[in-house]
Chains A and B, each alone.
Chain A
Amino acid sequence: MKRLIVFALVLAMAPLLACAQTYPSKPIRLVVPYPSGGPLDITARSIGQKLTETWHQPVVVDNRPGAGGNIGADFVAKSPADGYTLLMGAVATHAINPVLYGKVPYDPIKDFAPVALVAQVPNILVVNPSLPVKSVKELIEFARAKPGALNFGSGSTGSTGHLAGELFKTMAHVEMVHIPYKGAAAAMADLLAGQVQLMFDNLASALPNVKAGKLRALAVTTLRRSPALPDLPTIAEAGLPGFDLSTWFGIMLPAGTAPDIVARLNAEIVRALNAKDMRERLENMGTEPPPENTPEKFSAFIRSEAAKYAKVVKDSGAKVE
């Protein structure tokens, strides 16, 4: 009888052993807080596929769009911290929305354990060719000469395209009118038509039209030049030192997840990002795998971004209720 009890107890403990040692032992859910098809979603699917190949456990992308990304982020924040629910968090969910919306149902710093930054994509300042400016300096002069004459489009209020414009206005002391659209594609259509004169669009989306001559590229918004357009200066170089803005996204886990799971995931994601085909995909987006990609660095990055956007959003006066 005693042997039976011991045997039963050992059997009962076996699953615990399995969990601790062989993560992952069941399918992993990667929550993408945006609708399918965007660059963030596609990159998430690519990474998911790579993880599936290595670990022989399916990594399933779960799209939970809505409220600018807050619904998906909240879902993961409240998920169990067992390493089986990941979030592809972004600048929107973790730096912009908390300030833009006033309050969000999760704490972007306390509720998450950052794992790895996936990509930091620059925005690019493009103008309609009919606008007689060929550089950032000329644009600033033009805008100062005609305050309020220029329109800049963006994909939505509070998007990086919008906030880049607001930061530009603040740092250059110019007045431009922001025209929000439902999605960057609609904004791009009106930019090509000349209804709006400039836009701080996602580099990958704007690049084909720049190459075809339908748009003129003036500068990129990050501090470092983009490998896709090495001859294009940064806004910081071209007239507004210190201007730094990018659309970034990265993998996060709910806070309290075991550190060894975080470390394993980080190692695997970094490996996936540096694989040849992922590098190519990132290059097509105008960026490259982030260097020195550790959970601690990512965590520090998120904090600094949150602080930066707190100021940018407040200065712009943008609000979503």
Chain B
Amino acid sequence: MDFSLIHNLAIGFGTAMSLQNLFYCFMGVLLGTLIGVLPGIGPLATIAMLLPVTFSLPPVSALIMLAGIYYGAQYGGSTTSILVNLPGEAASVITCIDGYQMARQGRAGPALAISAMGSFFAGCVATVIIALFAPPLAEVALKFGPAEYFALMVLGLVGATVLAHGSLIKAIAMTILGLLLGLVGTDVNSGMARYTFGLSELSDGIGFVIVAMGIFGLAEIISNLEQGESASEVFVNKVTGLMPTWKDLKSSSGAILRGTAIGSALGILPGGGALLSSFAAYTLEKKIGDPSGFGKGEIRGVAAPESANNAGAQTSFIPLLTLGIPSNPVMALMIGAMMIQGIAPGPQVMTERPQLFWGMIVSMWIGNLMLVILNLPMIGMWVKLLTVPYRILYPAILLFCAVGVYSLSNQPFDVMLMALFGLFGWVWRKMECEPAPMILGFILGPLMEENLRRAMLLSRGDPSVFATKPICAVLLGISIVLLLITLAPAVRKTREEAFVEE
């Protein structure tokens, strides 16, 4: 096994290090970073636009470039999350929470740097995992049936309340609101259109990007404008060093390791695993150690989710490369690109086309290296961007958001919906209700419902299946324990208050 691994890596290096493939790798990661930075326009739209270009490229080069765009976008996405509170994708939402607060405190540089370093570490580790364990991991992933996914989502939702650092009741309320918003659309199991008000634009549900752009980005702009001139001064005056301090590095190292582990594990699961990785990493980080700084600019709250989402992005290639199953829409596009080239993605890609498989894996590592070299020096440039007067910055942000959202489906309706959510987001801010639990409910709710009903369909209506399947039972058990731990202090406090009043 060891000898063949070296042999395979040799094939991989031979393929990936050719001048042509290095060039395409670089183009891919550069494009990916730029796309990730631009709010709204994501890797999905870019890869779709570049698909015809790949017709004429040799298959390995095409896939290397497209893969570079995908994980490059993860690097770039954290930039806007930290600088302007705009998450480009589901994975970057969590980075907004602490990353943006760090930027407001003048620590955008260290936030960006730790994000890049954590992402690099996670990317390397994940690549090694793919190289060594891809086929057995794919088999493990297959053990996750609907019941197990449901249990995982429940665990994720219970963790949602941990995401909030304010009132618990409001966090639960926002989570439920997110669940309700996630209901909009056509139900998979019955074909019924729910909450669509007869509009066919809503029949596929509300897009995540629209909600995220509105609630995080637009609401932030509205609220900054409301505060007037004083808001923008915060950024300009308080920019301290660009690089993280030793203290930062020490406290983040554990976070990075844990984030990488969680992201690698969850990324393998086709069907929504990678989405959870940044949420789960943040939750874990908050539970371990001192939770007081979270939400106010705690660097571990940036390091962990960033490592997790990069690890998840890399390992989500595993179901694609080993089973031919895409874990998310971007992977589905990669399958399209492979099929254009006449490569049928599936189990035999590894054996029939070793240059493709191993070339891609090695180029992922090279791509990560290129990305960290690209991104670290650019931090100075990004931080300077914050010094642009806000009255010029915010129309630019608005423009990019609008263009990005429009580019999703070429429908003006989407842009108007984003504006509506911007308004809601601002109102919720005023009410001190946090958006992160809502987003989590919004993403997890539909997945949870779909898997619950499918599990019940498969068991012909027998609910005991949730207790009898081992993985499912374990996950549900952990959820219950976590729920009790979270609620216990609140219960104790009210009881103490009641006693005091007596």
Contacts and interface: CB of A to CB of B under 8 A. Distances in A.
A41 B55 CA distance: 13
Contact of B409 (A39, A65, A204): A65
Contact of A37 (B325, B329, B346): B329
A193 B340 contact: no
What interface size band does chain B fall in? 35 or more
Nearest to B349: A208
A196 B484 CA distance: 35
B56 to A, nearest CB: 9
B154 to A, nearest CB: 19
Contact of B55 (A49, A192, A211, A214): A49
A151 B454 CA distance: 11
A185 B345 contact: no
A281 to B, nearest CB: 7
Contacts of A293: none
Interface in B450-472: 450, 454, 457-458, 460
A28 interface: no
Contacts, number: 144
A48 B190 CA distance: 36
Interface string A272-308: 0000000011001100000000000000000000000
A157 B324 CA distance: 23
Interface stretch (B142-150, B247-255, B305-313): B142-150
Interface string B328-371: 01001101100110101111110000000000000000000000
A207 B344 contact: yes
Interface string B458-497: 1010000000000000000000000000000000000000
Given A64-B409, A209-B346, A284-B339, A180 B189 contact: yes
A281 B341 CA distance: 8
A321 B344 contact: no
B230 interface: no
A37 B146 contact: no
Interface stretch (A14-22, A66-74, A245-253): A66-74
B454 A179 contact: yes
Interface stretch (B29-37, B125-133, B196-204, B294-302): B196-204
Nearest to B270: A189
B191 A204 contact: no
A261 interface: no
A28 to B, nearest CB: 15
Contacts of B347: 208-209, 212, 214
B336 A36 contact: yes
A281 B340 contact: yes
B188 interface: yes
Interface string A42-66: 1001101100000000000011111
Contacts of A158: 191
A182 B188 contact: yes
Given A63-B409, A64-B409, A71 B191 contact: no
Nearest to A195: B145
Contacts of B324: 188, 205, 208-209
What interface size band does chain A fall in? 35 or more
Contacts of A135: none
A66 B339 contact: no
B410 interface: yes
Contacts of A109: none
A46 B329 contact: no
Contacts of A180: 188-189
A207 B492 CA distance: 59
B68 interface: no
Interface in B168-198: 186, 188-193
Given A49-B55, A192-B323, A211 B200 contact: no
A320 B193 contact: yes
Contacts of B411: 64
B200 A38 contact: no
A67 B348 contact: no
Contacts of A65: 204, 409
Contacts of A66: 200-201, 203-204, 409
15 contacts: A37-B47, A37-B336, A48-B52, A148-B460, A179-B454, A185-B270, A185-B325, A189-B142, A204-B339, A208-B344, A211-B344, A211-B346, A212-B348, A320-B186, A320-B191
Interface of B: 44, 47-48, 51-52, 55, 142-146, 186, 188-193, 200-201, 203-204, 270-271, 319, 323-326, 329, 332-333, 335-336, 339-340, 342, 344-349, 409-411, 450, 454, 457-458, 460
